[in-house]
Amino acid sequence: MLQFLATSTPFFAVIGLGALSAWRGLFGSDAVRVLNTYAFMVATPAMVLRVMSRQPIAELWNGVFFAALALLGIVGMGLGILVARRFFGMPFPNAVSRGQSLVGGNFAFLGIPLMLAFLGDGAAAPIAIGLICDTALVVPLAIGLIEAGRGKGSPWRIAARLVRGTIVNPFMLSIMGGVALSLSGLSIPEPIDRFLVFLGGSAAPVGIFALGVAAWQWSREGRLPLKGVLPLVLGKLVLHPLLTWFVLAIVLRLDPFWVKAGVLYAALPIAANVFVISERFETDSRPLAAAIVISTTAAALTFPIAIWLVSG
């Protein structure tokens, strides 16, 4: 618990700073959109390109582990979309955001340091695979589905929008560039690397800061709903880790190290990028903002329990 609290403290501090700044009137009504556009279109691609290029993917690959995480991500997102559509009557793009929240954990900000802390010297492989699963599958798939669900047309037009939305965006292009650099063995020249470090380092703080600004503005206006938040939190912190443990430990019977790594990956709270993407594509992000803060707070208890259960 102490390790999680130490790692997540900056997250809450930046949210609080964003809320304080909004309370003081430093940011207007358009600030959240501007901040999230910068985080999604500019800073995050720089961060992803550099991080992916530095992962020795070919050396660390575990195909079974990746396939399991990928399948769980796709099924979990699909289940979330189905529930949101059928039981809550949400428009398809909004339902996609809810589905993403069930499987999109705060991996880059919390997952990497926690994996290093709990997995020790063997953390490099699951970190690399987790990054690929999170950044190259869950996020691009959510973007593509949202794009495909915006507007009407023939099945071919919808399929074309899905492919275009999944592949032709700064996030996915940075992933492909990073993977290509990793597999080629080429390194980024130092001046460019420093630029990417400088620019990419602002991605998480700006996105989280925008979350704090939005939370304050919406709560002041009475537009921060808590209805529908609990299923998102329980789905991410309880259902996703349980399904991951069942598939990895019972169905596939993987080595306990990989089971622990998978549960750690699944037990992370909802990622701030779920909110960033929702805002970017103008789906209803208000419940997501509440779910992210609540899930991160609750994970201070649920995450250590999950790790303890798979460490025995």
Number of separate domains in the chain = 1
Indicate which CATH number applies to the domain containing 72.
1.20.1530
Write out the residue range of the structural domain in which residue 259 sits.
2-311
Model's pTM, two decimal places?
A: 0.78
CA distances 13 to 125, 234, 289, Å, are: 30, 24, 15
159: which residues sit within 8 A by CB, 6+ positions away? Answer: 148
pLDDT at 160: 64
**Cα dihedral 291→293→296→298 (10° resolution):** -70
pLDDT at 96: 94
Q: Which residues of the chain have pLDDT under 70?
A: 1-2, 151-168, 221-226, 312
pLDDT at 162: 60
The per-residue pLDDT for range 98-114, each reduced to its tens digit, is 999 999 998 877 887 78
Q: Cite the DSSP H helix spans in the chain.
A: 2-23, 31-38, 44-53, 57-60, 63-88, 92-103, 112-119, 124-133, 139-149, 155-167, 170-184, 190-200, 203-220, 229-234, 240-245, 256-266, 272-280, 286-311
The per-residue pLDDT for range 147-168, each reduced to its tens digit, is 777 765 555 665 666 666 666 6
Alpha carbons 222 and 78: distance in angstroms, whole number: 31
The 10 Å Cβ neighbour count of residue 86 is 10
